[in-house]
Structure 1
Amino acid sequence: MLFTRDLRVRDNPALTAACEAGHVVPVFVLDEAILGGPFAAPNRVRFLLDCLADLRTSLRDLGGDLLVPRGDTVSEIARLAETTHAGSLFIADERSAYAARRLAGLRRLGLDVSVHPGVTVVPPGDLTPANGDHYRVFTPYWRAWEAARWRPAAAAPEEVRLPSGVAPGPLPRLAELTSGPLSPDLPPGGERKGRERLAAWLREDAAAYDDVHDDLAADRTSRLSPYLKFGCVSPRELAVTGPDAFRRQLAWRDFHHQVAAAFPALPRDDYRPKGSRWKTDPDAYAAWRDGATGVPIVDAGMRQLHREGFMHNRARLITASFLTRDLGIDWRDGLRHFGDWLVDGDIADNAGNWQWVAGTGNSTRPDRVMNPLRQATRFDPRGDYVRKYVPELAGIEGSRVHRPWTLPPSRRPDYPEPVLLPD
């Protein structure tokens, strides 16, 4: 059983099928192709190690264990299949370019490869329009997604029968896998923590989600995105239990996955080329990256990213629009920086949203610009979100915190002048 982005025992169709088939060797490969590239962001690696430790505990509770070798996935699976005399392989269905190459390599090993759903609510490719291979606009996809018949939930296995003689070995330490700064307020990873977060959100905030999920200061979003990214919670379970407005967000996630499956270059190339001429402005980019643009709502979002490895979804839209629309800097530069810090950094979702904001993706209004001051007034009217993440402005009362450059010189805080003054 090769775990990938399904690090859970509940509602995991691949794991359930593997356990029904007989003895199981559960394995997660720390692939050098990922650890050696830009995807090995310290925040995500630390969260991943939490997930693996939690998964190992859950499997041990069921009588099994988890092997975590390091190397090339195909080579490691070939080695394990030979030493354990395995004849079949169970894996979750994933459609990224990397996952497609991995699956092709695994199928060449001569094993009976069984692919199961579980990474998305509706697998990419299951829903297609009459005139194409994938949906290019969200609204018709949303209608088809709503009408689709979803798979039944998979029962959690009662037992995981590990073959004798399998030595799992210790889990690696963070310093062995990556280096670089960590966000100080990262959430803990793992299925148990994900289910605790899900239960708390359903109990306290889910009913009001439609009214409060855009309120920056309220901070009442689900905070489940890292657990979805690593499959600690089942997206299908969330779609069944969450409110309608939240289910729409899950549909957006599935939408971006089916776009990326059809257009694997989504993280690199414009989905809908506009002939954009992006600016090269290292100073403006550095100010944006460091949360020092002098535009408080933008800086608050960027500083939340660095502090928590997370950013409120509304702030993601505002900061991305400011970089691409106001500063005119390439969306790929923003995507890379988000990828360096976001615990929930999902390639399809991240690239799809950046292109949507930049006007090169799936937006039906590609010329839309999100004015940061109007966004701040609407979604942080009292300035509480800004004051939380930009302490230099903590002493400014009310909505004036969004325009510190308008204060008399004697009252201005030690805070940068705007790199660009919003209209």
Structure 2
Amino acid sequence: MTVSVVLFTADLRLHDQPALRAALDGSSAVVPLFVRDRAVQAAGFAAPNRLAFLADCLRDLDAGLRERGGRLVVRHGDVVQEVCSVVTEAAADEVHMAADVSAYAHGREDRLRSALRAQGCRLHVHDTVTTVIAPGIVTPASSDHFAIFTPYFRRWSEQRLRDVLPAPRRVRVPDGVGSLPVPTRPDLSGVSPGLPTGGETQARERLAAWLREDVAAYADRHDDLPGDATSRLSPHLHFGTLSPVELVHRARRAGGPGAEAFVRQLAWRDFHRQVLAARPEAAAGDYRTRHDRWRTEAEAHDDIAAWKEGRTGYPVVDAAMRQLRHEGWMHNRGRLLTASFLAKTLYVDWRVGARHFLDLLVDGDLANNQLNWQWVAGTGTDTRPHRVLNPIAQAKRYDPDGTYVRRWVPELAGLDGPAVHQPWKLRGAERALYDAYPDPVVDLAEGLARFRRARGRD
């Protein structure tokens, strides 16, 4: 009997699973393996919201495998050691896994390949499992990656996609391979109360409903804060309970401006991955430095705390930050304006904000999070690095009636219409009715002047 191991990482699904399909095609039995990586916890990336969503995903994956005669093997510890142990227990000949882009993922792959070679076992790493187009496939003539999205998207759109693979009908797992219990949500604390449910079953149901009911309006409404018209599929993309290749195929079949706009967002995701793959240091440092002298965390301590708590005095910023804390998710327009407020209006290092987002976001993805923060801070790939998003203008445009603000900032629920966006303009007794809500931590004109001085643009 030939045996292969499939190491699941950020690809927790059975549909369109190239690593699993290759293992099944080449072996008579397969060990589906997930390792709870000790290094992830040591690095501070094991945030409660993602651990809870991960637990859902693993239980759903295990259930899907059991329906097909198999099961999920769960281990905890060093990934390389645990994979090698399973290879020995199962007498496996091959290990299959998805490619990834971070420096840690590259190091893990190298260590695993070397260790398996010493055991006489081969490692197969599969592209286009977590991306639509693999990093490095689309490059400009003069560089190893695209630094500007528009020409990247043009070339990306010309690529032929691989076909979508069906879920397996049968998975045979050899006897004698031990497993820890599959984790569950109740084992965790510190989870956002409104966190969505994870798992491929939920992902596919949401995708089907969204393509059926909402994708047609996506181009017009994806920035609509109260309308909540985004797909909310980002957590499922992060954990791989949905295939990005399948999403592009299905969106293109749906057709229309909404589907095209959605596909463009998937291309942005690939764009950030090809940047990080080529420049792994961008996970912690400026992609393009502006020689900023950010306010230190000690200097900006009170402002940072107000921003994290949703108490800045700017209602749309506070609404978005409170949504993040409650749901472990934030509307994309909210992410842009809260990031701009911290990095440019408060002039605080983007890494402070990126770290807070990773602490709470269920879709906290290293490439998207770090490079989107840099895009907003002006140290990334943005071709207009000094733009500043005005939270009042943003609120009036994307939450014109104040519905989103009133949903998340109940202290202001009594204010009708757009007046909710500027409560500091109230006077006397009327302002006293809303004194539970703070005054702005900074005047916008003063914040803009400080930023322009810091960038040498005054």
Aligned-residue Cα RMSD (Å) equals 1.1
Match of 2:294 in 1: 278
Cα deviation, 1:235-270, whole Å, max 9, x if unaligned, reads: 011112220000000000000000011111122100
Q: Are the equivalent residues in 2 in contact too, given 1:65–1:168 (CA < 8 A)?
A: no
Partner of 1:101: 107
- The equivalences for 1:146-185 within 5 A come to 146-173=157-184, 179=189, 181-185=190-194
In structure 1, distance between residues paired with 2:370 and 2:8: 24
Q: Secondary structure at the match of 1:265?
A: helix
What TM-score do you get using the length of structure 2 for normalisation?
0.90
- Structure 2 equivalent of residue 416 of structure 1: 438
- Contact kept? 1:267, 1:332, Cα under 8 Å: no
Structure 1 counterpart of 2:124: 114
Give the gaps of 5 or more residues in structure 2: 1-5, 252-258, 446-458
Q: Is this contact kept in 1: 2:135–2:273, CA < 8 A? A: yes
Quote the Cα distance in structure 1 between the aligned partners of 2:151 and 2:293.
31
Correspondence list, 1:217-232, <5 A: 217-232=226-241
2: CA distance between counterparts of 1:226 and 1:172?
18
Rounded to whole Å, the distance in 2 between the matches of 1:37 and 1:276 is: 26
Q: Which runs of 5+ in 1 are unaligned?
A: none
Q: Is the 8 A contact 2:19 2:126 kept in 1?
A: yes
Residues 197-220 of structure 1, C-alpha deviations (whole Å, 9 max, x = no match):
111111211110001100000001
Q: Secondary structure at the match of 2:395?
A: helix
Q: Are the counterparts in 1 of residues 94 and 122 from structure 2 also a CA contact under 8 Å?
A: yes
Q: CA deviation at 1:38?
A: 1.4
Superposition pairs for residues 212-291 of structure 1, below 5 Å? 212-242=221-251, 243-280=259-296, 281-291=300-310
Alignment of 1:193-204 (within 5 A): 193-204=202-213
- 8 Å Cα contact 2:89/2:176 also seen in 1: no
Q: Please state how far the C-alpha of 1:139 moved relative to its aligned partner.
A: 0.4
Query: What is the CA distance between 1:164 and its match in structure 2?
Result: 2.2
The answer to whether the aligner puts 1:340 opposite 2:368 as a matched pair is no
Aligned-partner SS, 1:269: coil
TM-score (norm 1): 0.98
Please state if 1:89 is matched with 2:98: no
Consecutive aligned runs of 4 or more in structure 1 exceeding 6 Å deviation: none
Give secondary structure in 1 for the equivalent of 2:241: coil
1:29 aligns to what SS in structure 2?
strand
Partner of 1:266, secondary structure, is helix
User: Shift of residue 288 of structure 1?
Assistant: 0.4
3-state SS, counterpart of residue 46 of structure 1: helix
Secondary structure of 1:24's match?
strand
Alignment of 1:281-320 (within 5 A): 281-320=300-339
Residue-pair matches, total:
421
- Distance in 2, matches of 1:36 and 1:93, equals 22
Deviation at 1:169, TM superposition (A): 4.0
Residue 174 (structure 1) shift: 5.1
Q: Specify the SS of the correspondent of 1:238.
A: helix
The whole-number CA distance in structure 2 between the counterparts of 1:374 and 1:254 is 30
Which residue, 186, 192, 197 being the options, matches 1:188?
Answer: 197
CA deviation map 1:155-175 (0-9, x unaligned): 321211111223334213457
> Is this contact kept in 2: 1:90–1:116, CA < 8 A?
yes
Structure 2: distance between partners of 1:403 and 1:174: 40
